């Protein structure tokens, strides 16, 4: 296996989310192998939730709205550790994370076993322009209304995660 020194390595998992190997990102995506991801819904004290518009250069689902922050779980990394890293890399903040739910790998999650976390912060953000084209702070009811009217303007994973979040009756949902 030849791997560029800049390419991330992902744990490849079976249908029960058990480790079966380690492969480079490009191979995992090209072969549609099961792997892991973490998503964070970030809230302000006024109850608004951050969603971000993915850049047009993203490999999957460019120019659609998605979770506040999200990303792949690197090989050997845990979901919470990945969520903390993504919050820092994409938004430039640290915040206490609360686990919400687990999601099985499926087409909507791009074959990723996913864990969803919630964080709260009123800190100013340092948005990564390579990942994020725009941001919006909306109340969950506003997001739900937008999802009803224009579901395809949101990533499939976000639609699944946000609907479950609301079904669980989480704060602000």
Say which CATH number the domain at 29 has: 3.90.79.10
Low-confidence residues in the chain, pLDDT < 70: 1-5, 170-173
For residue 15, the enclosing domain spans 9-167
For 51-101, what is each residue's pLDDT tens digit?
999 999 888 889 999 999 999 999 999 999 999 999 999 999 999 999 999
pLDDT value at residue 5: 62
pLDDT value at residue 85: 97
From the list 81, 65, 69, 80, the residue with the least C-alpha distance to 128 is 69
Q: How far apart are CA 78 and CA 95, in angstroms?
A: 17
As for how many domains the chain has, the answer is 1
Residue 173 belongs to some domain of the structure: no
Cβ atoms of 49 and 67 closer than 8 Å: no
pLDDT value at residue 122: 97
The pTM score is 0.93
Q: How far apart are CA 98 and CA 150, in angstroms?
A: 29
Cβ atoms of 94 and 84 closer than 8 Å: yes
- What's the chain's length in residues? 173
Question: How buried is 6 (Cβ within 10 angstroms: 0-12 exposed, 13-18 middle, 19+ buried)?
Answer: exposed
Residue 114 belongs to some domain of the structure: yes
Cβ atoms of 35 and 28 closer than 8 Å: yes
């Amino acid at each position: 296996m030849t791997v560029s020194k800049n390419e991330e390595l992902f744990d490849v998992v079976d249908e029960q989310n058990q480790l079966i190997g380690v492969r480079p990102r490009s191979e995992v995506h090209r072969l549609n192998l099961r792997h892991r991801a973490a998503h964070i819904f970030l809230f302000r004290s006024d109850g608004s939730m951050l969603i971000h518009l993915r850049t047009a250069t993203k490999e999957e689902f460019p120019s659609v709205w998605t979770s506040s922050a999200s990303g792949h779980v690197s090989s050997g990394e845990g979901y919470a550790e990945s969520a903390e890293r993504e919050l820092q890399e994409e938004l430039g903040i640290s915040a206490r994370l609360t686990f919400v739910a687990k999601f099985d790998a499926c087409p909507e999650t791009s074959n990723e076993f996913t864990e969803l976390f919630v964080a709260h912060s009123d800190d100013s953000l340092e948005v990564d322009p390579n990942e994020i084209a725009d941001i919006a702070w909306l109340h969950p009811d506003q997001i739900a209304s937008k999802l009803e009217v224009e579901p395809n303007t949101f990533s499939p994973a976000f639609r699944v995660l946000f609907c479950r979040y609301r079904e669980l009756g989480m704060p602000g949902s």
